[in-house]
């Protein structure tokens, strides 16, 4: 009997998980699963049929050196790949882990209809095809709390959010949080320096939710620390996936006089970057090194990406999976990572940073050291987070 809910739709004989060294990418649409290969460019295979994982709904994977089976990993994304930011970073972490430890892995795209996420996530967990399920952001917390108690033998890795251990049986859940306000503080400082005499910068968030507001609070504090008279304009797109609307908002903020923008807007940020390039203004990216991403696909736009506040989701997930393999991952607990742990950083690959004055770079280095030493306490919407 096929596993309930999770089926791979690929050409006969081309199931990407048939090769244990290849991870799979799955897209959830109207309750159906479309599997495609995930490796580097995340190539999509032709969808033509239904396959299951076998008569028992389970497969044995490769073994570790101690004889135990290597865990089968699934990443569930509440959204889709291709945002050139947060979701793509999570997928890179799974691909890196697969390559490093020769794992079976699958990336599942839940799409942008939140009413379908719980059923799709439940089917994924219930299938029996995976030992470790990875999910991210606050939207997935209720589902992880619910299912971790229902499936105590499974292990869950939750990133960019944490379960409430006081209200759930979550001893099989490891959470990792990011102190993104620390990186945003550096970005705000840099934005004010780049703005110069205009003394006007802006920040555009995807939605008014705590994790986005944490970026905004940190950015504003850093900008004001660099120059108490700087004007910081704040706006929201009200969507993670509307580049067109984001572009119009960015154009309006530039028209108001802002000369540098920071975007914390997911896929919507692509529109903000486009607006910055057209206005010949600097923009600061988020989550991934967006200069490096755009340098390959849109070099003209890349010229205007001054830096990015990198949230190393990929590194955090690769490390967590490695710790799981070594039976060292602290399930039942949460970690907080920021500048001190290397989980947050300010990218320096761009033309703007390469050509920045030694004095400006020294300023940024000093500010970062003071944050790490706690000489500067960066405000956060989450309050004080233990390190």
Q: Is the pLDDT of residue 377 over 60?
A: yes
Q: Is the pLDDT of residue 50 over 60?
A: no
CATH number at residue 261: 3.40.50.2300
Each residue's pLDDT tens digit, 119-129? 999 999 999 99
Do 228 and 84 share a structural domain?
A: no
Task: Tell me if 247 is assigned to some domain.
Answer: yes
Do 170 and 262 share a structural domain?
A: no
Q: Domain tally for the chain?
A: 2
Q: Residue 22 has what pLDDT? A: 40
Do 229 and 195 share a structural domain?
A: yes
- How much is the mean pLDDT over the chain? 85
Do 220 and 78 share a structural domain?
A: no
Kindly report the number of other CB atoms within 10 A of residue 134's CB atom: 28
Task: Tell me if 91 is assigned to some domain.
Answer: yes
Each residue's pLDDT tens digit, 55-67? 233 334 444 444 4
- Show which of 154, 178, 202 is a domain's final residue: 178
The Cα 186–Cα 27 span in angstroms is: 36
Each residue's pLDDT tens digit, 167-185? 998 999 999 999 999 999 9
Distances (CA, A) of 262 to 8, 30, 87, 250: 39, 35, 19, 10
**How confident is residue 84, by pLDDT bands cut at 50, 70 and 90?**
confident
Do 254 and 159 share a structural domain?
A: no
Do 367 and 277 share a structural domain?
A: yes
- Show which of 144, 178, 212 is a domain's final residue: 178
What's the domain range around 290? 183-307+357-372
Kindly report the number of other CB atoms within 10 A of residue 81's CB atom: 18
Do 276 and 197 share a structural domain?
A: yes
Task: Tell me if 380 is assigned to some domain.
Answer: no
Each residue's pLDDT tens digit, 265-282? 999 999 999 999 999 999
Task: Tell me if 80 is assigned to some domain.
Answer: yes
pLDDT (average), residues 137-162: 96
Do 174 and 45 share a structural domain?
A: yes
The Cα 284–Cα 264 span in angstroms is: 9
Please tell me the pTM assigned to this model.
Answer: 0.80
Altogether, the residues listed in the chain come to a count of 387
Task: Tell me if 328 is assigned to some domain.
Answer: no
Which DSSP letter does residue 196 get? G
Q: Is the pLDDT of residue 43 over 90?
A: no
**How confident is residue 384, by pLDDT bands cut at 50, 70 and 90?**
low
Each residue's pLDDT tens digit, 212-223? 999 999 999 999
């Amino acid at each position: 009997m096929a596993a309930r809910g999770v089926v791979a739709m690929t050409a006969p004989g081309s199931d990407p998980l048939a090769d244990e060294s290849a991870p799979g990418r799955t897209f959830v649409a109207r309750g159906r699963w479309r599997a495609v290969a995930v490796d580097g460019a995340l190539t999509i295979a032709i969808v033509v049929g239904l396959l299951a994982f076998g008569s028992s709904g389970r497969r044995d994977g490769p073994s570790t050196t101690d004889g135990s089976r290597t865990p089968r990993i699934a990443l569930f994304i509440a959204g889709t790949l291709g945002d050139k930011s947060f979701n793509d970073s999570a997928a890179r972490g799974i691909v890196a882990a697969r390559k490093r430890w020769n794992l079976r892995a699958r990336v599942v795209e839940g799409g942008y209809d939140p009413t379908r996420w719980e059923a799709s996530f439940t089917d994924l967990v219930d299938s029996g095809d995976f030992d470790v399920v990875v999910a991210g952001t606050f939207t997935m917390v209720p589902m992880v709390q619910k299912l971790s108690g229902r499936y105590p033998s499974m292990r869950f890795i939750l990133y960019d959010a944490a379960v409430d251990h006081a209200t759930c049986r979550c001893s099989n859940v490891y959470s990792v949080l990011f102190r993104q306000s620390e990186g945003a503080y550096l970005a705000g400082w840099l934005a004010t320096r780049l703005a110069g005499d205009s003394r006007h910068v802006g920040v555009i968030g995807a939605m008014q939710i705590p994790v986005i507001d944490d970026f905004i609070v940190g950015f504003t504090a850093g900008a004001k620390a660099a120059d108490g008279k700087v004007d910081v304009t704040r706006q929201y797109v009200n969507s993670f996936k509307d580049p067109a609307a984001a572009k119009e908002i960015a154009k309006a903020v530039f028209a108001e006089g802002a000369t540098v923008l920071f975007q914390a807007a997911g896929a919507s940020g692509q529109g903000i970057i486009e607006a910055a390039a057209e206005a010949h203004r600097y923009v600061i990216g988020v989550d991934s090194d967006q200069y490096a991403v755009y340098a390959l696909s849109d070099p003209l736009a890349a010229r205007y990406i001054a830096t990015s506040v990198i949230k190393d989701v990929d590194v955090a997930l690769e490390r967590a999976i490695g710790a799981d393999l070594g039976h060292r991952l602290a399930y039942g607990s949460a970690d907080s990572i920021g500048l001190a742990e290397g989980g947050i950083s300010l990218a320096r690959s761009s033309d703007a940073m390469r050509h920045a004055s030694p004095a400006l770079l020294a300023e940024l280095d000093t500010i970062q050291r003071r944050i790490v030493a706690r000489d500067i306490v960066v405000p956060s919407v989450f309050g004080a987070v233990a390190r």
